């Protein structure tokens, strides 16, 4: 009985989307995964046909269906290019949720999601120990701050760049309020997990830049993971709990503060996913919508709320090296933020900003995707790194810590000497 | 039936990675852009012409249907395995083998995506004109099988005008060669043209010699809006009467304008009754004059607004808008019966008027857009899944076809017959002619294994 109800709900949720697909095949041209393996099942059209077969009861929830549905980065390029307006991401998410409901999550993911969900302190502890352990298990690689594995480890490719986990997470390093010298306004800062545990320098850059511009920064200690890893895996229970917590933690004092993030997936979650999670609870839904309206990517906040002229006035030393920009999928297609980071980079690099080819093509990261589908992810990455290399830039900026991990991995593999920075880090270096 | 031993032989021919028969893979090769579906027993991806030949010999011996497939973007079910068997996907044949800049020719494999051929030859200052709306994903092999047209057909013709020679594997497995690289060639029957437009029923193209042109020096695009389709249609005939042949002359009716604007948000005039999209190309000095003469014809037909595209970005947006019309219509209604009728181009105003009357008669939304310049109108009868509405839609299609025939038109300009128009082919083709076509099919494919169930009623 329970199985049937799940499937009915699936049809109810996405039946309309499935019907919209005209089967024209245009998604075959832009899907980065399809480009690497040329099998229809990996194109959006194939995934829709299979999901339709599941919805109609023609296809059971097979292992193969599970694997196919999970072989999607959710880069949204098919959604952007679909003239029939099919929200392919909605279909993939609903199908993954159905699969989790009926088959459960694989054990490693179950443990990780539980950690994200419950044990903030526990996670901090694990990471603290982890940061010691990692020196035993991984050897440092020169040129980057990453590590390569010393011994073969399950799931992890030996050649892979592994980001260093910090001993002391960013949020433990700062007070809950960091006041500007002459404060004019305040913002709430949602750090995201990568900034907190891997790249605290991005967090420091956010605080430095905002303080310098006369903006005080509030960093609520109770904030937790945005839930993106659980959401993309279809683990809705975890996402809902995390979302409820974050909504409570980030909306306070009459909701007068903007919420800024240096994390593209986090911003995408707040703006587009959270408001859809609480269809049955009007009160939380309206709060989720408030959070969505207050949410600003850091580059968006700086350009729209502070202004380029003002920022230009604070630039002390511009970059002279060639700098290029990689569009994170969830910033560009997910939130429509394409021009803002470029405007910022142009004022801090002057003439030395260059566009790479296919700047908005996915880098193949997609959070867990890159780990689970190493070979395809690596091929997509290789094309991205070639674009960066051909642009002759010495610095590549981007707006997503997940992309930063991936780009560093690719640069490492090709043994190139190119710096990878978050846009706000680049700005902090010049201010 | 693909038995166990045949399966093993097929795997021996193409390799394990190129033979798929899981239910998931079979579902993914069961459909095309008609949204009709039928499950194949297996999907096979040959890489060489000899593999194609071996597969065909085997299929012919054991009478297993073979359905060739490119990108599966066809509009009449040509790639749908309606009688089961094997789908033969030509994606591995994806190389441009030669761009001959001395003879203005390209030798390509069928899996090459049409727009990637455009990009490649244009870098060499050359031009391959056929440009079906699906060119960004459709492949040359499919274009040849369907004799695809496109927007530039007004001035440059269609796929058949650019195919000089072919390498084809016929259903019995023999590899044959038609045509040559010579501009003039009258040696033997013109078999090339027999295979172009044969909808994958006579042979599998494995290589093609294509004619190229010098890339025109410049192009200019003009858009004009009108209060009604009738005025737009009169403008089109007016332009032709003035002896101007634009590169393209496309129109969108009010429904198409709204559907595509809803997707792209590029500021199309959603309150207009019709939009004409006209492009001229050629010598930079001359095209300015052509545009002015076209502008004058638009004005004399009470155009509401006439604009020329300001820059490359605006230009690309306009053409993307045009290419997106067909799939975007599904936002209006869930069912779309897509016909691509064609009439002599002077009859465009008449057919538009007749279709509008048919829509009123059956209380249906019928959306028209397409290639006004060559008389090829994409007529989309929209419907819900409601049975009564579906029946009315099917009657409307009958009425439209009859109207087309009355105006000396044909029921398909570029999509082909496939399975969706099979039952109507006799409206256009008389009995002795159809019978000859059947005999040709029988001669080449005695066991009726290659794309069976297509074209013939």
How does pLDDT run across A244-254, given as a tens digit for each residue? 999 999 997 66
Residue-level pLDDT at A137: 45
Whether the per-residue pLDDT at A117 is higher than 90: the answer is: no
Whether the per-residue pLDDT at A123 is higher than 70: the answer is: no
Phi, psi of A333 (to 5 degrees): -75, -35
Lowest-confidence region among A106-115, A230-239, A301-310, A341-350: A106-115
Mean pLDDT, chain A, whole residue set? 87
Residue-level pLDDT at A119: 53
Q: Mean pLDDT throughout A126-147? A: 46
Q: How far is B351 from chain A (nearest CA, A)?
A: 26
> Which tens digits make up the pLDDT trace of B60-69?
999 999 999 9
> Which tens digits make up the pLDDT trace of A11-31?
777 888 999 999 999 999 999
* Percent residues over pLDDT 90 in chain A: 69
Using 50, 70 and 90 to split pLDDT, how confident is the model at A278?
Answer: very high
What is the 3-state composition of chain B as percent helix, strand, coil, each rounded to the nearest 5? 40, 25, 35
Nearest to B96 by CA among B107, B104, B86: B107
Q: Mean pLDDT throughout B211-235? A: 94
Whether the per-residue pLDDT at B457 is higher than 90: the answer is: yes
Better-scored residue on pLDDT, B426 or A121: B426
> For residue B253, how far is the Cα from the chain centroid?
20
Residue among A15, A23, A60 with most chain B CBs within 10 A, to mutate: A23
Residue-level pLDDT at A130: 46
Q: Mean pLDDT throughout A159-187? A: 87
Residue among A40, A45, A61 with most chain B CBs within 10 A, to mutate: A40
Sole residue written with tokens 């194939």: A46
Calpha distance B169→B178 (Å, rounded): 11
Which chain A residue lies closest to B26 (C-alpha atoms)?
A41
Q: How far is A53 from chain B (nearest CA, A)?
A: 8
Q: Mean pLDDT throughout B228-237? A: 91
Alpha-carbon separation of residue B130 from A366, B134, B168, B196 (angstroms):
38, 11, 21, 13
Using 50, 70 and 90 to split pLDDT, how confident is the model at A6?
Answer: low
Sole residue written with tokens 């990878």: A420
Let me know if B252 is exposed, middle or buried by CB neighbors in 10 A (0-12, 13-18, 19+).
buried
Whether the per-residue pLDDT at B240 is higher than 70: the answer is: yes
Residue among A20, A21, A25, A358 with most chain B CBs within 10 A, to mutate: A25
Residue-level pLDDT at B71: 97
Which chain B residue lies closest to A69 (C-alpha atoms)?
B24
Using 50, 70 and 90 to split pLDDT, how confident is the model at B266?
Answer: confident
Q: Long-range contacts for B401-405 (Cβ within 8 Å, ≥24 apart)?
A: B401/B339, B401/B341, B401/B427, B402/B427, B403/B351, B403/B354, B403/B355, B403/B358, B404/B341, B404/B342, B404/B343, B404/B351
Q: How far is A69 from chain B (nearest CA, A)?
A: 11
Let me know if B327 is exposed, middle or buried by CB neighbors in 10 A (0-12, 13-18, 19+).
buried
State whether B25 and A20 contact (CB < 8 Å).
no
Residue-level pLDDT at A144: 45
Mean pLDDT, chain B, whole residue set? 95
CA atoms B122, B126, B129, B135: torsion sign: negative
Please list every residue in chain B whose beta carbon sits closer than 8 Å to the beta carbon of residue A62: 23-24
> Which tens digits make up the pLDDT trace of B362-379?
999 999 999 989 999 999
Residue-level pLDDT at A167: 83
For chain A, say whether B330 makes contact (Cβ under 8 Å). yes
Calpha distance A120→B270 (Å, rounded): 53
> Which tens digits make up the pLDDT trace of B339-369?
999 999 889 989 999 999 999 999 999 999 9
Please list every residue in chain B whose beta carbon sits closer than 8 Å to the beta carbon of residue A29: 113, 136-137
> Which tens digits make up the pLDDT trace of B16-56?
999 999 999 999 999 999 999 999 999 999 999 999 999 99
State whether A26 and B134 contact (CB < 8 Å).
yes
Using 50, 70 and 90 to split pLDDT, how confident is the model at A184?
Answer: confident
Nearest to B137 by CA among B161, B112, B110: B112
Query: Both ends of chain B: CA-CA distance in Å?
Result: 24
Whether the per-residue pLDDT at A141 is higher than 50: the answer is: no
Whether the per-residue pLDDT at B3 is higher than 60: the answer is: yes
Q: Mean pLDDT throughout A176-195? A: 92
Whether the per-residue pLDDT at A120 is higher than 80: the answer is: no
Residue-level pLDDT at A140: 44
Of B27, B91, B113, the CB nearest to A53: B27
Residue-level pLDDT at A122: 53
pTM, entire model: 0.91
Using 50, 70 and 90 to split pLDDT, how confident is the model at B320?
Answer: confident
Using 50, 70 and 90 to split pLDDT, how confident is the model at A366?
Answer: confident
* Percent residues over pLDDT 90 in chain B: 86
Interface confidence (ipTM) of the complex: 0.93
Q: How far is B34 from chain A (nearest CA, A)?
A: 7
Residue-level pLDDT at A159: 66
State whether B113 and A29 contact (CB < 8 Å).
yes
Please list every residue in chain B whose beta carbon sits closer than 8 Å to the beta carbon of residue A53: 27
Instruction: Please say whether the beta carbons of B72 and A25 come within 8 A.
Output: yes
State whether A41 and B138 contact (CB < 8 Å).
no
Domains with residue ranges and CATH for chain B: 96-214 (3.30.465.10), 218-326 (3.30.70.3450), 333-415 (3.30.70.2740)
A66: left (phi over 0), alpha (psi -120 to 50) or beta: alpha
* Percent residues over pLDDT 70 in chain B: 100
Burial A134-150 (b: 16+ CB within 10 A, else e): beeebeeeeebebbbbe
Residue-level pLDDT at A164: 78
Q: Where are the alpha helices (DSSP H) in A189-271?
A: 193-197, 200-212, 228-233, 236-250, 264-268
Which chain A residue lies closest to B32 (C-alpha atoms)?
A23
Instruction: Please say whether the beta carbons of A82 and A13 come within 8 A.
Output: no
> Which tens digits make up the pLDDT trace of A370-415?
888 999 999 999 999 999 999 999 999 999 999 999 999 999 999 9
For chain A, say whether B252 makes contact (Cβ under 8 Å). no
């Amino acid at each position: 009985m329970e199985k049937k109800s799940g499937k009915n709900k699936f049809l109810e949720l996405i039946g309309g989307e499935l019907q919209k697909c005209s089967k024209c095949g245009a998604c075959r041209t832009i899907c980065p995964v399809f480009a690497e393996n040329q099998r229809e099942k990996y194109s959006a059209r194939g995934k829709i046909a299979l999901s339709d077969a599941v919805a109609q009861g023609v296809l059971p929830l097979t292992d193969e269906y599970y694997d196919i549905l999970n072989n999607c980065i959710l880069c949204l390029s098919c959604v952007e290019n679909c003239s029939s307006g099919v929200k392919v991401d909605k279909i993939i998410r609903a199908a993954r949720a159905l699969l989790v409901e009926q088959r459960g999550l694989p054990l490693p993911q179950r443990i990780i999601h539980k950690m994200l969900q419950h044990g903030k302190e526990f996670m901090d502890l694990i990471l603290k120990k982890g940061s010691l352990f990692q020196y035993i298990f991984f050897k440092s690689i020169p040129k980057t701050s990453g590590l390569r594995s010393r011994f073969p480890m399950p799931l992890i490719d030996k050649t892979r760049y592994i980001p260093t986990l910090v001993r002391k997470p960013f949020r433990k390093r700062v007070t809950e309020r960091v006041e500007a010298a002459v404060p004019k306004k305040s913002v709430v800062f949602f750090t995201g997990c990568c900034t907190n545990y891997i790249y605290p320098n991005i967090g420091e850059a956010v605080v430095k830049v905002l303080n310098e511009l006369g903006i005080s920064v509030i960093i609520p200690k109770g904030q937790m993971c945005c839930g993106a890893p659980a959401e993309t895996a279809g683990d809705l229970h975890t996402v809902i709990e995390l979302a409820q917590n974050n909504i409570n933690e980030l909306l306070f004092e009459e909701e007068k503060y903007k919420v800024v993030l240096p994390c593209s997936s986090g911003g995408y979650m707040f703006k587009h996913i959270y408001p859809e999670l609480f269809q049955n609870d009007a009160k939380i839904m309206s709060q989720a919508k408030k959070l969505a309206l207050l949410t600003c990517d850091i580059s968006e906040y700086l350009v729209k709320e502070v202004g380029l002229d003002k920022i230009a006035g604070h630039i002390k030393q511009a970059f002279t090296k060639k700098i290029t920009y990689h569009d994170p999928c969830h910033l560009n297609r997910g939130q429509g933020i394409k021009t803002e980071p470029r405007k910022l980079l142009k004022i801090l690099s002057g003439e030395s900003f260059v566009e790479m080819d296919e700047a908005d093509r996915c880098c193949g990261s997609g959070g867990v995707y890159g780990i689970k589908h190493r070979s395809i992810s690596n091929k997509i990455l290789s094309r991205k790194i070639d674009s960066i290399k051909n642009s002759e830039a010495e610095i590549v900026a981007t707006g997503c810590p997940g992309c930063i991990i991936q780009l560093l991995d690719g640069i490492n593999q090709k043994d190139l000497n190119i710096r990878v920075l978050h846009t706000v880090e680049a700005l902090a270096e010049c201010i | 039936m693909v038995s166990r031993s045949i399966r093993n032989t097929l795997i021996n021919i193409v390799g394990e990675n190129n033979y798929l028969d899981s239910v998931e893979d079979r579902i993914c090769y069961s459909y095309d852009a008609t949204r009709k579906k039928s499950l194949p027993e297996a999907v096979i991806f040959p890489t060489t012409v000899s593999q194609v030949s071996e597969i065909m010999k085997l299929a012919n011996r054991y009478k297993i249907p073979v359905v060739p497939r490119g990108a599966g973007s066809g509009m009449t079910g040509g790639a749908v395995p309606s009688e089961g068997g094997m789908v033969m996907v030509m994606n591995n044949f994806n190389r441009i083998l030669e761009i001959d800049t001395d003879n203005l020719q390209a030798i390509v494999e069928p899996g090459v995506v049409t727009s990637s051929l455009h990009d490649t030859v244009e870098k060499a200052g050359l031009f391959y004109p056929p440009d079906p709306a699906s060119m960004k994903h459709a492949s040359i092999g499919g274009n040849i099988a369907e004799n695809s047209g496109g927007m530039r057909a007004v001035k440059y013709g269609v796929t058949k005008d650019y195919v000089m020679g072919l390498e084809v594997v016929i259903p019995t497995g023999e590899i044959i060669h038609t045509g040559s690289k010579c501009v003039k060639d009258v040696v033997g029957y013109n078999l090339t043209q027999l295979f172009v437009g044969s909808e994958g029923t006579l042979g599998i193209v494995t290589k093609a010699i294509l004619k190229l042109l010098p890339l025109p020096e410049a192009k200019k695009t003009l858009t004009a809006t009108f209060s009604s389709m009738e005025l737009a249609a009169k403008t089109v005939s007016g332009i032709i009467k003035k002896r101007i042949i634009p590169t393209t002359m496309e129109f969108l009716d009010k429904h198409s304008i709204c559907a595509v604007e809803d997707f792209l948000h590029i500021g199309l005039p959603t309150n207009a009754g019709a939009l004409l999209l006209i492009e001229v190309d050629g010598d930079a000095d001359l095209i300015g004059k052509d545009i002015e003469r076209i502008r004058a014809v638009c004005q004399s037909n009470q155009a509401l607004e006439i604009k020329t595209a300001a820059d490359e970005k605006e230009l690309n947006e306009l053409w993307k808008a045009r290419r997106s019309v067909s799939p975007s219509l599904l936002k209006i209604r869930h069912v779309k019966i897509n016909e691509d009728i064609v009439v002599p181009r002077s009859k465009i105003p008449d057919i538009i008027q007749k279709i509008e009357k048919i829509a009123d008669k059956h209380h249906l939304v019928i959306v028209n857009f397409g290639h006004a310049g060559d008389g090829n109108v994409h007529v989309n009868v929209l419907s819900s899944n409601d049975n009564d509405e579906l029946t009315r839609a099917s009657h409307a299609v009958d009425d439209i076809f009859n109207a087309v025939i009355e105006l000396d038109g044909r029921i398909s300009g570029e999509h082909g017959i496939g399975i969706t128009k099979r039952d109507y082919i006799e409206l256009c083709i008389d009995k002795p002619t159809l019978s000859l076509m059947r005999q040709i099919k029988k001669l080449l494919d005695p066991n009726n294994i290659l794309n069976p169930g297509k074209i013939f009623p």
